Amino acid sequence: MDTDPTRTDPTRTDPTSRPSTLTASTPDELGEAAPAEEAPPVAPVAVIGAGAMGAGIAQVAAAAGHDVSLVDAAPGAAAASLARLSEGLSRLVARGRLTQEEATAIEGRITPVASIDALPDCDLVIEAVPEDLELKRRLFAELALGQPSTTVLATNTSSLDISAIADEVTDPERVLGLHFFNPPTRMRLVEVVHGELTARAYVEFATGLMRTWGKTPVVCASTPGFIVNRVARPFYGEAQRIVEAGVADAATVDWILREKGGFPMGPLELTDFIGQDVNLAVGTSVWEQTGRDPRYAPTELQRSLVARGRLGRKSGSGIYPYAADGTLVETPPDLGLAERLVGGPVATDPLARTLAMLVNEAVDLVRRGEASAEDVDTAMVLGTRYPKGPIAWGREIGFDVVAAQLAELDAAFPGGRYRPSPALTDGSIA
Ligand SMILES: NC(=O)c1ccc[n+]([C@@H]2O[C@H](COP(=O)([O-])OP(=O)(O)OC[C@H]3O[C@@H](n4cnc5c(N)ncnc54)[C@H](O)[C@@H]3O)[C@@H](O)[C@H]2O)c1
């Protein structure tokens, strides 16, 4: 697959045929993020699926000035979602974060629409229905027929291949991913994902538009997990393996990553928070889509937690036990052990081992041409709240040091998981 993000096929789509009312973001005008309040009056947008993500995306689009049609297959769901959104806006007004006029204007721009057939012509459609390839494929074929040929068709998928979703669209160059993070109203990051046939003009259009929505877009190829869900895999996997091997208990590993690494949450408590089942599903999806690359192999520890129903905070127990009100029942870390592990051999140093793998994953993504180094770092800082981007971190540690650490890990745990990316030593990433 051609994965160069700069790849284009401008002959397939005339960039000047972009919807005229959205030309605030033509490629030549791309540059610094435009403050949301400077966004010009804008064109109609539709959001398909009024669940957790769709409702938030609709609110963000309406706040940027778009008229938004909101469609949901479940009868009454779009109206119910709008009512919840209205309550949320009222809370923002009560807290002084929004004026009543602004809240009324945002709400007034969103219209529940009964079905896709009843949609007005839109300049952008964002799909946020459940993560089911066949469902999305059918929906995109239907949208492509029902909407003008210039309408940009975007999916909020977190894991599916954009090219596969565009399979039955006759002009797939206008299909791309707009991967918002949860909740879309608060998370600034949006991954703009291009499939094999997505035209560069549309990627640039979407990137510029996201800036006018007050978001920070990053561009990536439709690679398994995109940027964030791919690069983050070893953050969880290394911690689980260290606990599995009996090197340290979960509380000690989490303490090291938090206190010595500066991560806002330890990897093990974070998987409990996300849900062990959800985290395992994402990891397994990346593992399957990469042809079961050992770098992404799920751990027995996590599989067993899920099999036993220990899904984390939501089920009352996971890696840690939780009290009835959902608060974590504290387990004290072994601080003496933590001090001995950090700075010791890499195989038993949770921090060095995790960082080496994060850096490796990040540089490999860049080496394959799937995203730029700058975008990878931006995505990881905004999408996961890592204290530094992994590539900047790699520069600080030294890519040669990371390569040597991985060689040590590879010798200790053969099988390919720890193979160093050629980018660590070939000078391709300065
Ligand atoms: N929840 C997250 O944290 C998150 C984050 C990023 C991306 N995503 C992705 O966003 C998408 C939506 O996720 P969600 O969490 O909002 O799901 P959700 O289950 O909360 O909402 C999906 C909505 O789509 C509706 N729907 C189902 N089939 C439909 C159809 N044919 N036409 C119109 N509406 C239909 C459902 O009735 C439901 O209201 C998924 O692809 C998911 O992977 C989710």
Residue 4 has pLDDT above 50, yes or no: no
Residue 134 has pLDDT above 60, yes or no: yes
Task: Provide the token pair at 394.
Answer: 């790699």
Query: What's the burial of 327, exposed, middle or buried (CB within 10 Å: 0-12/13-18/19+)?
Result: exposed
Quote the CA–CA distance of 124 and 21 in Å, as a whole number. 11
48 lines ligand 1 (CB under 6 A): yes
Residue 20 has pLDDT above 80, yes or no: no
CA of 429 relative to ligand 1 center, distance in Å: 37
Q: Which residue has the tokens 């459940």?
A: 130
201 lines ligand 1 (CB under 6 A): no
158 lines ligand 1 (CB under 6 A): yes
Quote the CA–CA distance of 31 and 93 in Å, as a whole number. 32
49 lines ligand 1 (CB under 6 A): yes
> What share of the chain in percent tops pLDDT 70?
90
Q: Which of 59, 72, 190, 286 to mutate for ligand 1's pocket (most ligand atoms within 8 Å of CB)?
A: 72
CA of 128 relative to ligand 1 center, distance in Å: 5
* pLDDT category of residue 370 using cuts at 50, 70 and 90: very high
311 lines ligand 1 (CB under 6 A): no
DSSP 367-397: HTTSS-HHHHHHHHHHHH--SS-HHHHHHHH
Q: What is the third-level CATH fold of 230-424?
A: N-(1-d-carboxylethyl)-l-norvaline Dehydrogenase; domain 2 (1.10.1040)
Please give the average per-residue pLDDT across 419-423, as a whole number: 96
Domain-by-domain residue ranges, the chain?
Answer: 15-221, 230-424
179 tagged catalytic: yes
Write down the CATH number for the domain with range 15-221: 3.40.50.720
194 tagged catalytic: no
pLDDT in tens, 179-207: 999 999 999 999 999 999 999 999 999 99
